[in-house]
Amino acid sequence: MANNTVFYGKGIGCEGEVVGELCFNTSIFGYQEILTDPSYANQIITFTFPHIGNTGTNNHDIESKKPAAKGLVIREDITHQSNFRATNHFNNWLKENKLIGICGVDTRQITHLLREKGSINAAIVHKKNGVFNLKNISKKRSKWNGIKGCDLAQYVTREKKVYWNQTTWIKMKKYGKNKKKKFHIIAIDYGAKNNILRNLASLGCKITVVPSKTSAKNIFQKMPDGIFLSNGPGDPAATGKFSVPLIKEILKKNIPTFGICLGHQMLALALGAKTKKMHLGHRGANHPVLETNTGKVIITVQNHGFEVIENSLPKNARVSYKSLFDGSVEGIELKDKPVFSVQYHPEASPGPHDHLLLFKKFYKLIEKNA
């Protein structure tokens, strides 16, 4: 790690070595969705829940084509899967997806260290022979530049546009298919989770997903009724260099717009606000958020290491949600345009569904604006 602390354990997944930003996630389930969430690009995830892998893996609980995370750290060794939906052992899945991990280490100690020091650079090395060159590993870790200043959306965005028809899960069966297409929503992909797109498709709209660097001209030619700014990894200021000019053009058109996670940060930057890297970030499925105009508390899913600076927001932007952990901005909406965003993940996967209603709010704005 960054302070040269070394933890010895048992290697899991594929052999090799990897360097990334070490963080922790407090979710007690959903490890497959977490590891395939594009927002975790270049990160090594420490799972605070000790039993990871005991429900195996399947072909449904994935949020992108392949894992974006660099690696994982877990407390207990992976047991045999025990779940009726499991089709593969977790360790086999890790190997197939070229993920490197370690188990048998004190994840509580690592979590305490991260809370004290903040997110830090770390390396995982997995070798069958157990021979490690610590000096060489430490050098590679110290040379790694980290996430600040990095546009990681370019590595996880789709290469070309796609039409998304898959809707949310039909209990005990399969994902549905969207047949109604009353309105047209364009989703700008900075690393969009599949379940966000499923929830958008479940609104009964045509969903066109476009690469992150799609031009404003190209988007407007498609005649969108609404625009969605997706989640994604990396430093929003770096991604904003090409994304902010596009979003400014969208705001001029008065098209209903909804942003989640990185999309929320991109919107804030386009409004003239600023973002900063957090000491630790928010990652888990049990984060309380305050709805500022009602006083209601919502339990949310979160995964971000950057935040919008509240006092940098313009006067026409209202803070709609705030974290009850540290008071950071969790949502904004414009007073003069049909535009809003949230820092947290209302689509869950994994986590509570307390705020799926935001997708309906987006639909109502589109309907009203049509």
Catalytic residues: 261, 345, 347
For residue 230, which phi and psi values (nearest 5 degrees)?
Answer: -80, 170
Q: Which structure tokens are listed for 231?
A: 């989640």
Whole-angstrom distance, CA of residue 191 vs CA of residue 229: 10
Residues 6+ apart with CB under 8 A from 52: 31, 72, 74, 75, 76, 78, 90
User: Cβ(150)–Cβ(234) under 8 Å?
Assistant: yes
* Long-range residue pairs from 104-108, CB within 8 A, at least 24 positions apart, any chain: 104/9, 104/10, 104/75, 104/76, 104/77, 105/7, 105/8, 105/9, 105/73, 105/75, 106/7, 106/75, 107/24, 107/46, 107/47, 107/48, 107/50, 107/73, 107/74, 107/75, 108/48, 108/75
Nearest to 72 by CA among 146, 143, 14: 14
Q: Which structure tokens are listed for 325?
A: 């952990």
Say which DSSP state 355 is in: T
Q: Which structure tokens are listed for 19?
A: 């360097």
Residues 6+ apart with CB under 8 A from 315: none
Say which DSSP state 213 is in: T
